[in-house]
Amino acid sequence: MAEGKKQTKGMSRREFVSAAGVTAVAAGAAGVLVGCATVPQEMQQPALQVTPKYIVVDQSLCSGCRICEQVCSEFHYGVYNPELTAIIVERGYGGKGHWITTNTCRQCPNPWCMRSCPVDAIWRDVRTGAVVIDEKTCIGCQDCVKACPFGMAKMRPDGKKAFKCDMCGGDPQCVANCPMNALSAQPLMWKEAELVGGEQS
Amino acid sequence: MTNAYAGKGLRIDLYNRRITTEPFTEQMKREYIGGYLLGMKMLWDEYRPEYGAFDPRNPLIFCTGPLTGTRAPTANSLTCNTMSPISKTFVSGRAGGHFGPMLKFAGYDYIVITGRSPRPVWIWIDDNKVEIRDASTLWGMKTSEADAAVKDIVGSEEVETLMIGPAGEKLVRFAIASCNIDRAFGRGGAGAVMGSKNLKGIAVRGSNNIGLADVQRFNSAVKKNFKELEERDPWSWEMQPKVGTAGWMEAINYYSMLPVNNYQKTYDDKVAGGIDHNAYLKNFEYRKYACGNCALSCAHYIPTITKGKYAGLSSGTLEYETAAGLGARCGVGDILAVAKANAICAEYGIDTISCGSTIAWAMECYERGLITKKDTGGIDLRFGNADAMVHMTEMIGRKEGFGAVLSEGSLRAASIIGRGSEKYAMVVKGLEMSGTSPRGSKCGALMFAVNERGGHHMDPYAPTIEAYGYTIAEAGIPEALNPYEDGNTGPVYQLKNYTKLADILGTCAFAIINLQTLPDTYGEQFSAATGIRMNGKELLKRSEKLTTLMRAFNAREGLSARDDTLPARFMEEAVEVRVPEELQKWTNGKTSIMRKVDLKKNLRDYYKAAGYDMQTGLPSRAKFEELGLAKVADELKAKGIKLT
């Protein structure tokens, strides 16, 4: 698989998309799409089963309560920890002026984190469209953390594994629990030629 | 076992520069839970009546509750207990913001600070690394400057700070300790205690986990709690995010509970109209700002005031109590002046309620000729003089001129001035009363009189409960109360214990103030979070323990039933109270009544319900034993205080 990735890096984007599609179909044949046996032929063509979405923040509604951070770490790890959240409420208040900016993963069409990963631990989940990190494969090298232009790939406090927003398997908990309705999951905008990923490992 | 407690406390001796941690034992968790109750227990153990507030041995105790830092609604409390420099008794305050959760993420349930540092210091808590650092460059800074400077020093914005301003350093007796500028330990002078220890502030950053004993059960309890908040108090649910507590001004004026002109009147449409939420929305662009885990988001900040002579000023939230203290109480119906004074209070670090109250006292004395321009330094301290109010606020913050007298608080200032001015100091147990007039609500009157902390507006916030006719069978109010007929105040005891639940568990009073969260929902959340099985009833026993412990502390300080009283004004001067339509059923359709408070009647019923002795104001020894406070009872006995 790692070799395949190395090859795709050399491909044009167009080629990659078709290659990715082929991979997914192959994976489907191998049983990943079990339960979708009656999916019509044309539906199996795109690699993704859903339109990829990402979490959009209406910054003017956000009150900075950090409930999104809390539910994020609780949903994924069963604990609360401000360093263990894939949505980040950045706050400057007090003497540093008054601002709140909530930052989320863009689930980029062509993600820097995915491209930087040396062990192919990052891929786009075909079921949710989210770019996810496979924690078993992750070696904790921090390349994705350095690569992400938004600072949304983070290391766990123990420093052993990276993590990022995985859209909670399709039902983002931060969106469901935001009391100000400042968060929503919106379809990712991309030019077809640019969407990278869509393979299932 | 994972649970919502961090499991240890931090103890800092500033004089010896000794930092130690201590385990928060299972038995302590079960018996004293957290928050005020834990803080009071430690204060009882470590404080002695002979110390006094500014003694280095006076412990300064900050506690979180078990729910603090979880996502239970409004779980963001940090509580503070210490001896108060202004009142005759203790400080017991809570602050929201994000400091409480962050302290727990750093791995500590509580901090106890003792000793006085020879030089100004601040404390830096970064997970396991705790340092006492030099604060000579921070000393003298306003709260926002100190906050920014500390963030620069540690090189991170992800830091929560608790700072005092110049007023705290100069020992203004009602100085606050301010959490991220907008939230604060307001009442009782915790900031002055910090100043007396040469402690400029604390900064904390944490990256530890707060676990839960049973995640699924906790989530369903949280869901239930949210539903209660929404259904049992739709007004707050809808209005708090829009206007915050500023929205109360109109209602409190409507119900004739506004402390206009130092409590001489109970309503004033013109003054209230100038400082209510309509004026607020008209004059300010604001942005919401929520404390941690809070869906209500009552706080706002006003980035910049664009109009009037205060243009360019930015201010924190204009709370109701601030507008009532600096506005209505001083007869000032100008929201811009109130915002300016509020900003001064926040920057210098002073309590807006005590500050407004003390200025109002001076204004009344000035109008009655007890204070002259010679005393005030040429300031025309009349009711309604907005400029004088703003000027005096700044003088108090700087402790200059007449401000130095006022910075001692109403009671001490009155004894400095003399001339019979004590009569106009609106204080209970030495602490200035907050902004609801006792005449419009009998339980409101009682709430002030029997409050262990002095003239404090919390536990319970009885005026709204009476005015809106809220009921809660679980806490002894099965039907609405008559606000105008004295007597029959027994239910307040249970109500008081009920509203203390929030303080113990680490959530905000706004989750309980209008009787939203039921005791059993708290029990469920507490059990699921900590793994300690306890239902609502058992939790209520813990609150009763807290009330009793507070009473015992007061008794040890020499207070008794005699101190459960109000300023004479409320018992002697009958003042017109407008009766709103929905409450006219209590007055046989009369739209306006003359009212003074018959406190004796109210107290009698309350004492009876609480089982207190009429002389000492203490429960029986059997009650102490029932609540597991036998040792406390022994100590009282050794002090020569008789228990029935």
pLDDT for B4 equals 92
Q: Please tell me the least confidently modeled range out of B40-49, B56-65, B275-284, B347-356.
A: B275-284
Query: What is the model's pTM?
Result: 0.91
Q: Is the pLDDT confidence value at A44 over 60? A: no
pLDDT for B299 equals 83
Query: Would the CB atoms of B105 and A65 count as touching at under 8 Å?
Result: no
Q: In which residue are the tokens 């539910």 written?
A: A71
- Average pLDDT for residues B394-401, to the nearest whole number? 94
Percent of chain A residues past pLDDT 90, beyond the cut: 50
pLDDT for A47 equals 66
Q: Which comes out higher in pLDDT, residue B388 or A23?
A: B388
Give B-chain residues touching A156 at CB under 8 angstroms.
none
- A12 vs A27: CA distance, rounded Å: 22
Q: What is the ipTM of this complex?
A: 0.90
Q: Which of residues 84 through 113 in chain A touch B, CB cutoff 8 A?
A: 84, 90-96, 98, 100
Q: Is the pLDDT confidence value at B288 over 70? A: yes
pLDDT (tens digit, 9 = 90+) per residue, B408-463? Answer: 999 999 999 999 999 999 999 999 999 888 898 899 999 999 999 999 888 788 88
Per-residue confidence band for B1, with pLDDT thresholds at 50, 70 and 90: low
Query: Would the CB atoms of B212 and A79 count as touching at under 8 Å?
Result: yes
**CB–CB of B82/B193 below 8 Å?**
yes
C-alpha B476: how far from chain center: 24
Domains, chain A, ordered by start: 1-47 (no CATH), 49-190 (3.30.70.20)
- B205 vs B386: CA distance, rounded Å: 41
Chain B: residue whose CA lies nearest to A79: B211
**CB–CB of B435/B330 below 8 Å?**
no
Give A-chain residues touching B303 at CB under 8 angstroms.
98
pLDDT for B446 equals 92
Closest partner residue to A70 among B147, B293, B303, by Cβ? Answer: B293
Q: Which of residues 158 through 187 in chain B touch A, CB cutoff 8 A?
A: 158, 161, 180-182
pLDDT for A95 equals 61
pLDDT (tens digit, 9 = 90+) per residue, B158-183? Answer: 899 999 999 999 999 999 999 877 78
Q: Which comes out higher in pLDDT, residue A21 or B488?
A: B488
Domains, chain B, ordered by start: 8-205 (3.60.9.10), 234-432 (1.10.569.10), 441-638 (1.10.599.10)
Per-residue confidence band for A94, with pLDDT thresholds at 50, 70 and 90: low
Smallest CA–CA distance, residue A123 to chain B, in Å, is 28
Per-residue confidence band for A172, with pLDDT thresholds at 50, 70 and 90: very high
Give A-chain residues touching B102 at CB under 8 angstroms.
82
